[in-house]
Chain A
C-alpha cells in the first residue's frame, strides 16, 4: 500500500515537470487553426505588418498611402459606411473610449477607419465621420482620425494582412467580425481589441471597449511590443436567422425530457419498493 502511494506520488509529480518544458516549448503567434470557421471570421495576425504601401483616399478625397498615416500607434477599425448594425456601434465605442484614455489622440496615437466596401466614396466617409467628430466635440483634433476608402485590391490586401474574412450578403451589406486592430508606429499588428457589451442596463446593448485593453495595447504599440489579446466570443455583424436552429432546440428539449423522466422513474422505483433491512440475530 505504501509503495503504491509512493509510486502514485512519483508519477503525478512527473506530470508537473514534464508539463513545464512542454508548455515552454510551444510558442506560436497564431494559436487559432487557420480556416477553422470557413469564409467568415478573424484570424489574429499579431506580429505581422499591414501593407504600408496600400493606397487609400481620405475623406477629403486626397490620395494617401498608409505609410504616410502610420507614424505613431494607430487604432485601426475595419467597417463599411452604409452599415446600420454593428459598425456604428463599433465606431461609437471607439469615439467614446478616446475620451477615457489618458493618451492624447494626434499626439500619442491616431485613429484610422477603413471601409471594406469598394462602393464607399470620400463623400460617404465624410458623412460617417461627421457623427463621431460632432460627438467628440471641438477639443478633439479632427485630423487624428482618418476615414479612408479605397479600391477592392487595396482593401483586400489590408483585410488579408489583418486576418479579417468578410462575406457579402444579400440581405444587407456584409457579414464581418467586429474588432479593433492596434498597430505600432512601424505598421506592425500588436494586438486585437474586442468589444464587450456595455455595462449599461438597457436594450439594445451598445458595444464598448475596456479602457484597460486599449491602454495596454497603445502603450505596447509605442514600444513595438506585441501583446496577447484575450480571446472573447467574437462580435460579428450578420443577419440572424434562428429558424435553422429549431431542430437543434427540439433535440435538446426531447433529450432533456427523457433524462428527467428516467430520473423521476428511478426515484419512484427506489421509494416504492423499499424493504426494511433486518438486523443480524
Chain B
C-alpha cells in the first residue's frame, strides 16, 4: 500500500503538500516549521546568555531587550503553544482513535495556513515599523502602548496564531467525540488523546481572551483610547489580568499534551499497563479546569487585595494535586516494570525529573510570602524553563524519538541519540539550576547588566547554554542523518500496543485499509 508520502492527487511536490488536507502531511509540515522556529529561538537564547557573561560586548542594552522579547515570542507563540497538538496531535490523533482523518480536514488545513500567516506577520514585525519589539513576551501595558517598536504588527501576528489554535482545538474535540472507531470507548482511548481533548477545550475557551486583549492593545496604539493608560483613566493591571487569564491556561495547552506523550512512552518502555488509567485521564481534565482559576499568581506583586492573593494561592496549590497524581502514576507504572532505557524513555524519565523540579519550585512560588520575594527574579525564569523546556521540551523530544520511525519510516542510531540526550540533560541543568541560585540571591530577570557578585553564576549558566546547544546539535544531527540514510523502520519497533503501531511505517493514505474494531484497552503487553 502507498505511504502518505506518495502524491496521489493531480498536484506534485510543494503544492501537493501545501494544499493537502491529510492530517499526517499537516503534522509533518507543522513539525518542520516548529523545529525551525525552535532552532531560531535556541540561537537567540544562546545570544542572550552570551551577552550576560560580558554585558555590552556583544549586544547593546536596548537590543538585549529586543533579544529576550523575540526569544520569548518565538518560543512561546510559535513553538511551545502550538507545539505538540499541531505536530504529534495532528499526525497521531486519528491514528490513535482509529479514524481516517480529523473531523474537519479542510479546517485543519486552514489552521495550518493561519499558523503560517501568523508566523510570517510576527517575523515581518522584526523588519518593518519600529523594528523588533522590546516589551517582553507579555506585552505589558502601558509600555507596549508607548514603545516605538513594532508592537502592533507582532500582536496582530499573535492574534492570527490564536485563531489557528482555536480551530485546531475545535477540530480535535469534534474528532474525539465523533470519529472514534467502533469499540473505542472513552476509557479505551490512549492517554495522549485524553490530554489532547482537555487541551482542545482550553484552546477553545481561553484563546478568545488573549485575542480581545491584543485587539485592545492595537486599538489603543492606533486610536489612543486609553484602556490601559492610567493617564487617561485606564488601568494597566486590567491588561495583566486579561493577559494571564489566557496565558496561564496556555501553560496547560503546552504541558498537558506533553504529559500525554509521557503517558504513552512510559508503559511501552516498562512493558506494563499504565498504573491508574482513569486517574491519569481525569487528572488531565482536572488540570485544565483548575488551570483557569490560578492566573492571579502571576500578579501577586501587581496590586491585588490580600483576599484575592490568598484565593489565587490556594487554587495554585490545588492545581498541583492532579499534576502530582500523574507523576505518581508514572512512577507506579515503572515499579516492577521491565524497563528499557531507549532514547524515548530517557527523555521521558528526564521529563518526570525536571517537571517535578519545575512543579515543586512552582509550589514555593505559589505561597504568597515567598512569591513576593522571588517575583521577577531569575528564580522565576529558572522555574518556567524547568516546566516549559524541561517539561514540554523533553517530552517533545521523547515523542520525536518514539514516533520518528512511524512518521518517517526510518530508524535512527540509538547510541548518538543517548549521548545527545546525556549532553542535553547536563547542559539543561547547568544552565537553569544556576538560575535558581542566582534568583534566590536576588538577580532580577530581564536585566542587561548586574553587579559583580553575580558574575560566577551567570558564567556557569552561559557555559550550560553551550553544553545544552551541543546536546541539541548531537540529537538533531542524528535524526537528520536517520531521515536521509537511516535503515527502514519496522512497523512496530518498540512493541507498542496502541493503534498507530498496527499500521505500516510510514502509515498509508487514509490510515486504515479496514476500519479497526477495538476490543481492549490501549496498553496491553502480553
Task: List chain A positions with a Cβ less than 8 A from chain B.
Answer: 1-5, 8-9, 11-13, 15-16, 18-20, 22-28, 31-33, 36-41, 175, 196-197, 199, 201, 203, 205, 210, 212-213, 215-216, 219, 227-228, 230-231, 233-234, 236, 238, 241, 244-245, 248, 255, 259-260, 263, 266, 270-271, 274, 276-280
A4 — which chain B residues lie within 8 A by C-beta?
A: 13-14, 17, 32
B514 at the interface (CB under 8 A from A): yes
> What are 12 A-B pairs with beta-carbon distances under 8 A?
A4-B13, A22-B131, A23-B59, A24-B59, A28-B62, A31-B62, A201-B368, A215-B451, A227-B449, A231-B135, A259-B208, A277-B180
Chain B's nearest CB lies how many Å from the CB of A98? 18
CB neighbours (8 Å) of B148 from chain A are 28, 31-33
Pick from B61, B204, B515: contact of A227, CB under 8 Å:
B61
Q: How many A-B residue pairs have CB under 8 A?
A: 185
Q: Known contacts A270-B173, A277-B181, A279-B515; is A228 also within 8 Å of B33 by CB?
A: no
Residue of B nearest to A25 (CB): B131
Decide if B516 touches A279 in the complex (CB within 8 Å).
yes
Asked if B372 contacts A201 (CB within 8 A), the reply is yes
Residues of chain A lying within 8 A (CB to CB) of residue B14: 4
B205 at the interface (CB under 8 A from A): yes
Query: Do B182 and A41 have beta carbons less than 8 Å apart?
Result: no
Q: Determine if B411 is an interface residue (Cβ-Cβ < 8 Å).
A: no
* Contact B229 A37, beta carbon cutoff 8 Å: yes
Which of A11, A38, A270 is B232 in contact with, Cβ under 8 Å? A38
Name which residue of chain B comes closest to A17, CB basis: B43
Asked whether B235 lies within 8 Å of A245 as measured between CB atoms, the reply is: yes
A8 near B32 with CB under 8 A, answer yes
Which residues does chain A contribute within 8 Å of B372, judged by CB atoms?
Answer: 199, 201
A-B pairs with lowest CB-CB distance, top 9: A12-B36, A228-B61, A40-B231, A36-B146, A199-B372, A270-B177, A279-B517, A280-B515, A279-B182
With most chain A CB atoms within 10 A of its CB, the pick from B233, B305, B373 is B233
Q: Which residues of B contact A33 (CB under 8 A)?
A: 146-148
Cβ of B39 under 8 Å from chain A: yes
Interface residues of B in 301-359 (CB under 8 A from A): 301-303, 305-306
* Residue B484 CB within 8 A of the other chain: yes
Neighbouring A residues of B140 by C-beta, 8 Å:
233
Chain B nearest CB from A246 CB (Å) reads 12
B123, A15: Cβ atoms closer than 8 Å: yes
Tell me which residues from 440 to 455 in chain B have a Cβ below 8 Å from any Cβ of chain A. 442-444, 446-451
* A205 with B180, Cβ < 8 A, contacts A8-B36, A37-B232, A233-B142 known: no
Which among B65-73, B80-88, B385-393, B414-422 touches the partner chain? B65-73
Complex Cα spacing A241 to B204, Å: 35
Residues of B within 8 A of A20 (CB): 47
> Quick one: given A12-B39, A16-B40, A32-B148, are A277 and B442 in contact (CB under 8 Å)?
no
Compute how far the CA of A219 lies from the CA of B233 in the bound complex, rounded to whole angstroms: 37
The distance from the CB of B171 to the nearest CB of chain A, in whole angstroms, is 12
Name the CB-closest residue of B to A256: B209
Closest to B180 in A: A277
- Closest beta carbon of chain A to B337's beta carbon, Å: 33
CB distance from B219 to the nearest CB of A (A): 12
Known A-B contacts A238-B230, A277-B181; the reply to A32 vs B147 at CB < 8 A is yes
Q: Quote the shortest CB–CB distance from A172 to chain B (angstroms).
A: 15
Interface flag for B236 (CB, 8 Å) = yes
Q: A31-B148, A212-B451, A236-B231 are in contact. Are A280 and B514 (CB under 8 A)?
A: yes
B173 to chain A, nearest CB (A): 7
Q: Smallest Cβ distance from B297 to chain A, in angstroms?
A: 15
Q: Which residues of B contact A279 (CB under 8 A)?
A: 181-183, 514-517
Interface size class of B (residues with CB under 8 A): 35 or more
For residue A245, which residues in chain B have a CB less than 8 angstroms away from its CB?
Answer: 233-235, 238
Given contacts A19-B70, A231-B143, 15 further A-B contacts (CB under 8 A): A13-B36, A19-B44, A33-B147, A37-B142, A37-B229, A196-B301, A201-B369, A210-B444, A216-B450, A245-B238, A263-B201, A276-B182, A278-B182, A279-B183, A279-B515
With A27-B60, A245-B233, A270-B173 known as contacts, the answer to whether A201 contacts B181 (CB < 8 A) is: no
The complex places the Cα of A175 from the Cα of B451 at a distance, in Å, of 34
Residues of A within 8 A of B397 (CB): none
Chain A residues whose C-beta falls within 8 Å of the C-beta of B145 in the assembled complex: 36-37
B65 proximity list for chain A (CB < 8 A): 31, 228
B63: Cβ under 8 A from any A Cβ: yes
- Chain A residues near B63 (CB-CB < 8 A): 23-24, 26-27
Q: B146 and A32: CB pair below 8 A?
A: yes
A12 to B149, CA, bound (A): 22
Taken together as a complex, chains A and B put the C-alpha atoms of A260 and B67 apart, in Å, by 37
With a CB–CB cut-off of 8 A, which chain A residues contact B305?
203
Please name all residues of chain A whose beta carbon is closer than 8 Å to the beta carbon of B450 when the two chains form the complex: 216
Does B227 sit at the interface, judged by CB under 8 A? Answer: yes
Contacting pair B149 A31 (CB below 8 A):
yes
What is the CB-to-nearest-CB distance from A222 to chain B, in angstroms, rounded to a whole number?
A: 13
Contact check, A230 vs B123: say whether CB atoms are below 8 A apart: no
Q: Which residues of B contact A36 (CB under 8 A)?
A: 145-146, 224
Closest Cβ–Cβ distance, residue A137 to chain B (whole Å): 26
- Decide yes or no whether B500 CB sits under 8 A from chain A: no
Candidate in A24, A41, A227, A277 with the most chain B CB atoms within 10 angstroms: A277
Smallest CB–CB gap between B454 and chain A, Å? 9
Given contacts A33-B147, A231-B143, A279-B182, contact A212 B442 (CB under 8 A): yes
Chain B contacts for A5, CB-based, 8 A:
32
| Chain B minimum-CB-distance residue to A19 | B126
In the bound assembly, the distance between CA atoms of A174 and B17 in angstroms comes to: 63
CB under 8 Å from chain A, chain B span 120-136: 123, 126-127, 130-132, 134-135
Question: In angstroms, how far is the closest chain B Cβ from the Cβ of A35?
Answer: 10
Cα distance A139–B165 when bound, in Å?
A: 62
- Interface status of B523 (Cβ within 8 A of chain A): no
Digitize B208-238: 1 where CB-to-A-CB distance is under 8 Å, 0 elsewhere. 1000100000000000100101111111111
Bound Cα distance from A2 to B32, whole angstroms = 11
Chain A nearest CB from B416 CB (Å) reads 20
CB distance from A233 to the nearest CB of B (A): 5
Bound CA–CA A175/B231 (angstroms): 8
Q: What is the minimal beta-carbon distance from B56 to any residue of chain A, in angstroms?
A: 9
Min CB gap A203→B, angstroms: 6
Q: Which residue of A lies closest to B305 (CB)?
A: A203
Interface presence of B178 (CB below 8 A): yes
| A216 B17 Cβ-Cβ under 8 A | no
Contact of B142 among A216, A234, A274 (CB under 8 A): A234
B117 at the interface (CB under 8 A from A): no
Known: A228-B61, A274-B178. A263 touches B204 (CB 8 A): yes
By a CB distance below 8 angstroms, the chain B residues around A238 are 230-231
Q: In the complex, A99 Cα to B357 Cα: how many Å?
A: 37
B137 within 8 A of A: no
Give the docked Cα–Cα distance between A12 and B234 (Å): 39
What is the bound-complex CA distance between A184 and B107, given in angstroms? 60
Whether B231 lies near A38 (C-beta < 8 A) is yes
Say if the beta carbon of B174 comes within 8 Å of chain A.
yes
Q: Does B494 sit at the interface, judged by CB under 8 A?
A: no
Do A197 and B444 form a contact, CB below 8 Å, given A23-B63, A26-B63, A37-B142?
no
